[in-house]
Amino acid sequence: MGCATHTARSYNQDFGQSLPTDPKYFIENEDDNHFKLTLHQGSTEQGPQRVIDMKNAAPVIADTEAKRRGWQNWQLDYIQERNQGWMHVLIAEVTRKNPAEMSPDRPAGNP
């Protein structure tokens, strides 16, 4: 059983991945402090567990990418979740947080 494809290319190639993952994901760089994470998975008709898997995978993938970028603190914001019938899509934005903003004894914006 393989993944359904809309072209001759596999989803791994579509999303720039050399190894199969479940769910598939794609990272788009927005700027030095933001990136967008898009996860694709089989539809909810194939079982609600697929949606749960995506929501569990999103923070793990975000953490791996944030660490690769050298970020110590970050926040995952879900932007959009939609079902395209045969595929479920979860789009999230990851924001780098300034350590100064997270310190309770230092007002935001002061080094």
Going by C-alpha positions, the residue among 44, 38, 72 that lies closest to residue 58 is: 38
Q: Which helix (H) or strand (E) holds 81?
A: strand 74-83
Structurally, the chain folds into a number of domains equal to: 1
Please state the φ and ψ torsions of residue 64, each to the nearest 5 degrees.
-60, -45
Q: What is the pLDDT of residue 43?
A: 61
Going by C-alpha positions, the residue among 2, 82, 93 that lies closest to residue 40 is: 82
Peptide bond into 99 cis (omega under 30): no
pLDDT over 70 percentage in the chain: 59
Indicate the pLDDT class of residue 82, thresholds 50, 70 and 90: confident
Task: Tell whether 17 is covered by a domain.
Answer: no
Within 8 A by CB and 6+ apart from 8, the residues are none
Task: Tell whether 107 is covered by a domain.
Answer: no
Q: What is the pLDDT of residue 37?
A: 94
Q: Tell me the CATH number at 51.
A: 3.90.1520.10
Question: pLDDT tens for residues 31-74?
Answer: 999 999 998 876 656 666 777 888 888 999 999 999 999 999 99
